[in-house]
Structure 1
């Protein structure tokens, strides 16, 4: 009630819980056209960098900085260093942007991007749809980055066309403007990473940090004693195969993978199948609009028929804040972005993966890739 009162007092738009536009902020901002190429945009959440997929400079802030920006329309920043991650090659069937970013973070470490603004570039980046580009940018913060950005193109223009908050509900001038938003050919970056997606396999996390991830058909890797706490928490040992680990829960949703394309891909795997009897499976669409559009396509029925719970949109089950969650100590495969201790509930052991992997694992009852039979 206090939030409603203050929003009204200061003439701020509020997307209340009963609004058809309600949802996770990083989902509703793009679908409503609030984010636009070239904008500077802040929000009191670390995954605000998601919206860099539209060529905006977007980053998360604390409440003090947010208050300062509301009062002054300014914010002081230390200029970040620049990193370019060039994705090359051809995407293998069944492999997604989620797998790519998990692979990059696992190879270089969760702190490699500290202090950097990352530009994702290259032909494999350009071939992605906007939802997958958002997944890439969303998880830049798990790389330690300040933010991430992708050069806007015709896909951005098409996405923003006729969105409620797109200026004048038209994009005729936006195309001309976004043509100016690119890095110079001779631009020098403080760090460069070239990553070939051609040999990429589905990835899954095995530890309690995002960089503790590996191809799904690999074994829990050896490491130094610093990995012992993660292995103990996850109840795993070196050499354990990741494929075939029995799961108790499966979750599809979040600002990383709770969009309509994510639900469509998962539904294609779940169609005419049932989840394993011992698995608690939950889907939380990223916004009320995503939920409504999915229901129009019958996606909700596919999830429900398979045995999933179909919930209202929001951040539920991604970030545990004392509400409903999986049972204590459950092993859960999840399409979310973080897997640290207790992230999804007391003693819950989270394995991060793409929605397709989550759906296939829910059916199998064990961690498995969707193109694998059994476990």
Structure 2
């Protein structure tokens, strides 16, 4: 009888090309995603070594990190340099490129799944930490550095030490007002921003059956903020229904063959994880970060914590630094904190489901005076869907700015950034110091909370708003 295996072990073993004692495993990479911000040096390295891209057919390129979202003009010299380099490299090596202005363009971790390039059992890498997004399909998906990007371009393989395994078991009944973003923030708050360090997480449990593929991508996306190397969810009927509608999905007999393989990608009964964490979702409510890492969060109805009450010296010191940067006082109720800017978008929460959630709150309401709200679709496909449903009319009528697709204010590599010590409610994934601007203060929230906050002018839950 074979030893029971986790889905993580099954997919990992499927891709091992070479294994030597004391050395990292060499994994075959099924799909390599690249973008303009992290690939130029990798191509320069290839050129200096006289090498070609080994599998351009398994490489996809995207323009997303530095592009503007106000217009189709690349006015910034740095952005033009990055984009021009990617275009030259893709032309030289025959790599398919989703160009700025193309109707298929968008954020790499939004476009690849929506086009159907990612499916269960694959190995996927990208020079971007949030590649973990694709683990929502039961794929093994890693973010890597520039030297690794070069290695995969040249060999279609990646040397990587095998991480430990971690099960996150969600239990209980999922409250109606809790979104996927709240689940992952609750987990990170429970285990800490480094609680999954050195592990690949498998998210499990009955509550996940009620989470859509878009919500699952949000959760796997932020595995990195829990310190994990990657996150995965075993494929199920929700996964298959999503994949069947994708342009690149297999059809006919190829679909049936793929399904037979995908259905085997589950953790066997009796399989062992190196670590198991249980999260009871029954009592959860919308979450919001108060500090400068995603683990510094509380329920929106809660208050800024008192660092002096924290037993761990490092945790206490980190909290004190965070509160100084965020200009918050212990004991302050989070739902009284005023907000200058609201950002809806990113590879975490820039999909059509997220925009529908925002529109549902904004419909018939207005963005508060003095608040700037940006709604940035994760792809041009998402933008078209939103406009076909009239969501953009809701955003504009409420006083929000309806933008083109791009990474935008998530990391501020283009003109979408905060000036000075402004305070932003953001649906993105990171709230580090200076992430959205040199002095920017970022509160991570779900799309629904972001919309309610824009209306209230302070951090707010949809349930707290008066009827429109």
Class of the TM-score when normalised by the shorter of the 2 chains: over 0.9
Which of 61, 68, 86 is the equivalent residue of 2:169?
Answer: 86
Verify the 8 A CA contact 2:425 2:444 in the aligned structure 1. yes
Verify the 8 A CA contact 1:157 1:174 in the aligned structure 2. no
Cα distance, 1:171 vs. partner?
A: 2.5
Verify the 8 A CA contact 2:452 2:465 in the aligned structure 1. no
Which of 184, 188, 195 is the equivalent residue of 2:279?
Answer: 195
Question: Paired residue for 2:237?
Answer: 154
Which of 434, 452, 460 is the equivalent residue of 1:360?
Answer: 452
Which of 93, 96, 99 is the equivalent residue of 1:16?
Answer: 99
What SS class does the counterpart of residue 41 from structure 1 fall into?
A: strand
Which of 25, 32, 42 is the equivalent residue of 2:108?
Answer: 25
For residues 60-99 of structure 1, what are the structure 2 equivalents within 5 Å?
60-99=143-182
Computed over aligned residues only, the root mean square deviation of the Cα atoms, in angstroms, reads 1.2
For residues 231-250 of structure 1, what are the structure 2 equivalents within 5 Å?
231-250=323-342
Aligned residue-pair number: 374
Whether 1:129 aligns to 2:208 is no
Structure 1 residue ranges (4+ consecutive) displaced by more than 6 angstroms after TM superposition:
none
Verify the 8 A CA contact 1:157 1:171 in the aligned structure 2. no
Cα distance, 1:162 vs. partner?
A: 4.3
Q: Output the CA distance in 1 between the equivalents of 2:416 and 2:115.
A: 29
Give TM-score scaled by structure 2 length.
0.78
Whether 1:277 aligns to 2:369 is yes
Cα distance, 1:291 vs. partner?
A: 0.6
For residues 171-250 of structure 1, what are the structure 2 equivalents within 5 Å?
171-223=255-307, 224-250=316-342
Q: Over residues 273-297 of structure 1, what are the superposed CA-to-partner deviations in whole Å (9 max), with x where a residue is unaligned?
A: 1010110110101111001110000
Structure 1 residues 227 and 7 mapped into 2: Cα distance closer, same or farther (>3 Å)? same
Q: Output the CA distance in 2 between the equivalents of 1:225 and 1:84.
A: 30
Verify the 8 A CA contact 2:163 2:200 in the aligned structure 1. yes
Cα distance, 1:324 vs. partner?
A: 3.1
Cα distance, 1:5 vs. partner?
A: 2.0
Question: Paired residue for 2:46?
Answer: none
Task: For structure 2, list consecutive stretches of 5 or more residues without a partner in the other structure.
Answer: 1-83, 308-315
Verify the 8 A CA contact 1:356 1:370 in the aligned structure 2. yes
Structure 1 residues 231 and 300 mapped into 2: Cα distance closer, same or farther (>3 Å)? same
What SS class does the counterpart of residue 359 from structure 2 fall into?
A: helix
Which range is displaced more, 225-234 or 75-84?
225-234
Q: Output the CA distance in 2 between the equivalents of 1:346 and 1:353.
A: 21
Cα distance, 1:321 vs. partner?
A: 2.3
Q: Over residues 184-229 of structure 1, what are the superposed CA-to-partner deviations in whole Å (9 max), with x where a residue is unaligned?
A: 1101111001111111010000001111100001110112233211
Give TM-score scaled by structure 1 length.
0.97
Task: For structure 1, list consecutive stretches of 5 or more residues without a partner in the other structure.
Answer: none
What SS class does the counterpart of residue 75 from structure 1 fall into?
A: strand
Q: Output the CA distance in 1 between the equivalents of 2:414 and 2:453.
A: 26
For residues 105-144 of structure 1, what are the structure 2 equivalents within 5 Å?
105-144=188-227
Question: Paired residue for 2:121?
Answer: 38
Question: Paired residue for 1:299?
Answer: 391
